[in-house]
Amino acid sequence: MTISLATVGNSSTTGVVTSQGLGSGINISSLVTSLVSAEISPQQTLLQSQQTGDQATISALGSVKSALSSLQSSVDAITSGGALQQLSAQSSSSSVFTAAATSSAAAGSYQVQVQTLAAANTIQSSVFSSANATVGTGPYSITAGGKTFSVSLTNSNDTLSGLAAAINGSSSNSGASATVVNGTSGSYLLLSATQTGTANAVSVSNSSPISFTTVPGQTASDATGTIDGIAFDSASNIVSNALTGVSLALTGTSPSNTTQTLTVSANTTSAASAVQSFVSAYNSALSLITTSTAYTPGTSSAGSTTTASGTAGPLLGDIAVESLQQQLQSIVGGNIGGTNAFTLLSQIGVTANSDGTLAVNSASLSNALQQNTAAVQSLFSGSNGIGTRLDTLLNQVIGTPGTTGMIDTETNALQSQVTSMNTQLSNLTAESAQLTAQYNQEFNAMDTVVAGYKNTSNLLTQLYAPRTTSSSSSGS
C-alpha cells in the first residue's frame, strides 16, 4: 500500500501553511498585537502623559505672562506715563474761552481777558458782467499765509471763473480760497485767507490785471488779550504759547473789560482711574497665579465611599512662580520708607483682602489725590516706590526688549522637552512596527513547524489505525 504525504488527512492539505495560526490553532495576529502593546504602550503612555503636563504648563505660563504684561502696562502708566501727573484746566466762562492742560502746566488760578479774536480776511475784485467775462491773462501775484505765488491764464480760460479755478488749483497756493459771487450788480471774485491772523492775510499785487478791495467787516486780525495783566497775541484762536502747558480755545471776547478765571488743578478723576486700573490688573494677575499654583482637595459624601479626586493647578510646585506670587504681595503690602507723606498703599485707600487681592476705597483715594497728588505719585514712582519695584521685578519675569525673562526661559525648556518626546514617540512607533514584523515572522515559523508535526501525526494515525474487513466465506 502506498500513501501520499500530500493527501494524508484533509484532501485539501498540501503541507504549506497559508493562514496565521492554521497549523497551531493560535490567533497569532492577536498574540503579536498583545505582546507589542505590552512592550510599547507603557512607554507611549508615560511620554504622552508627560507631554500633556508640559503643554498644560506652557499654556499656564503664557496666561501668567499675559496677565503680568497687563500689570506692567498699568504700572508704567502711573510711574512713567504721567497718569498721576495729569492736570485739568477749567474756565469760568466757556463763552469766552475753554482750556486744556498738560503735565507741564503749573497748578494755580489765572485771570484771563480776551480783547479780540483772530480772524481771516476776504477781498473782492472789481465788478464784471458775468463769471465768463474776460479778465486778462495775468500774471496774478497773490500773497497768502505769508508767502507769494502767481497764476496766469491762457486764451482758453481767460475768465473770472477761470481765474478762480486757477487759483484754487495752483500747487503753489499758500493759503487763499477763490470763489465767484454773482450779485445783482454783476459778478465778483472773492479771495479769502484760509488761516486767521494778520500775517496770513490774503492780498493781490497792484500790478495784476484786475484790482481788489477789502470786504467791509472782513479784515485780518490777531487774537489779543492778557493773562494776569500780561499781554498776549496769537494768529489763531487756539492760544498755546501764552501759558506754559495750557492751551486756550478762544470763543468770544470778554464783556466790558472784565476778566475770566482759569483754574489749573490736579485731574483727580484721571489719577483715580489710573490707580483703579493698576489694582484691577494686579488682582487679575495674582488671582491667576493663585489658581494655577493651588491644589483643590476632592470631596466625599458622609457615610458613602464615593469620593471626588482633587485638582492640581498646572503650575503647582513651580517654585519660580510661587516665589513670584510672594514677591508681588510683599511689594504691594510693603512700606516704601523715607519721608514721603504716603508710604503705604493703605494710606491712600488701597487695602488688601484676605486672599491677597486689593480693594480701593474711592473716597479715601480721591481725598489723598486732592490733598497731595505729588505724594501719591512718589508712592508709586519714587526710587523705592511700589511701581518702581514692581517694574524691576516684572522686567526680570517677562523680560525686556533684547532680554529673556524667567517665564520665557522656563517655557523654552519645556518646549524642548515636548519636542524631544515627539521624537521618542516617533521612534516608538517605528519600533512597534519592527517588533510586529519580527514577532509575526517568528510565530509564523513556529506555526509552520507545528503544521508539519500535525501532518506527520495524521500520517502515522492512518498507517497504524485498525482496519476492518468483511469475511467472504465461512471457511476463510
Round to whole Å and give the CA distance between 122 and 201.
8
pLDDT: which is higher, 426 or 345: 345
Looking at residue 45, its pLDDT comes to 85
Looking at residue 8, its pLDDT comes to 36
Checking if the pLDDT of 450 tops 80, the result is no
Mean pLDDT of 337-346: 96
Round to whole Å and give the CA distance between 180 and 178.
7
Looking at residue 25, its pLDDT comes to 67
- pLDDT band for 103, please (50, 70, 90 cuts): confident
Q: Is the peptide bond before 209 cis (omega within 30 degrees of 0)?
A: no
- pLDDT band for 163, please (50, 70, 90 cuts): very high
- pLDDT band for 456, please (50, 70, 90 cuts): confident
Looking at residue 300, its pLDDT comes to 64
| Cα angle for residues 113, 114, 118 (degrees, 5° grid) | 160
Mean pLDDT of 44-54: 87
Looking at residue 412, its pLDDT comes to 93
Average of per-residue pLDDT values in the chain: 89
pLDDT: which is higher, 84 or 165: 165
List pLDDT tens digits, range 193-232.
Answer: 999 999 999 999 999 999 999 999 999 999 999 999 999 9
Q: Which strand (E) or helix (H) includes residue 366?
A: helix 362-381
C-beta separation of 428 from 44 below 8 A: yes
Average the pLDDT over each of 24-38, 178-192, 350-364 and give the range with the smallest value.
Answer: 24-38
Mean pLDDT of 11-17: 41
* Residue for grid cell 486732592: 370
Looking at residue 35, its pLDDT comes to 84
- Alpha carbons within 13 angstroms on the beta-carbon side of residue 298 total 8
Mean pLDDT of 18-46: 76
Looking at residue 331, its pLDDT comes to 97
Among 100, 97, 101, residue whose Cα is nearest residue 117: 97
Checking if the pLDDT of 472 tops 50, the result is no
- pLDDT band for 448, please (50, 70, 90 cuts): confident
List pLDDT tens digits, range 271-321.
Answer: 999 999 999 999 999 999 999 999 888 776 655 555 567 888 899 999 999
Looking at residue 339, its pLDDT comes to 94
| pLDDT more than 70, % of the chain | 91
Grid coordinates given for 139: 500774471
- pLDDT band for 473, please (50, 70, 90 cuts): very low
Looking at residue 306, its pLDDT comes to 56
Mean pLDDT of 415-439: 88
Checking if the pLDDT of 109 tops 60, the result is yes
| Distance, C-alpha 354 to centroid of its chain | 31
Question: Can you list the pairs that 449-456 forms with residues at least 24 positions away whose Cβ atoms lie under 8 Å?
Answer: 449/23, 450/23, 450/24, 451/15, 451/17, 451/22, 451/23, 451/24, 452/15, 452/23, 454/23, 455/5, 455/8, 455/9, 455/13, 455/15
Looking at residue 338, its pLDDT comes to 93
Round to whole Å and give the CA distance between 195 and 207.
24
3-state helix, strand, coil in the chain (%, to 5): 45, 20, 35
Mean pLDDT of 133-147: 96
Write out the DSSP string of 265-313.
Answer: EE-HHHHHHHHHHHHHHHHHHHHHHHHHT-EE---B-TT---B---EE-
Mean pLDDT of 441-464: 79
- pLDDT band for 2, please (50, 70, 90 cuts): very low
Round to whole Å and give the CA distance between 84 and 342.
14
Single-letter amino acid, residue 161: S
pLDDT: which is higher, 178 or 467: 178
Average the pLDDT over each of 32-46, 90-104, 344-358 and give the range with the smallest value.
Answer: 32-46
pLDDT: which is higher, 268 or 342: 342
Looking at residue 9, its pLDDT comes to 38
Looking at residue 319, its pLDDT comes to 94
Mean pLDDT of 67-91: 92
Neighbours of 312 (CB within 10 A): 13
Checking if the pLDDT of 404 tops 80, the result is yes
| Distance, C-alpha 282 to centroid of its chain | 18
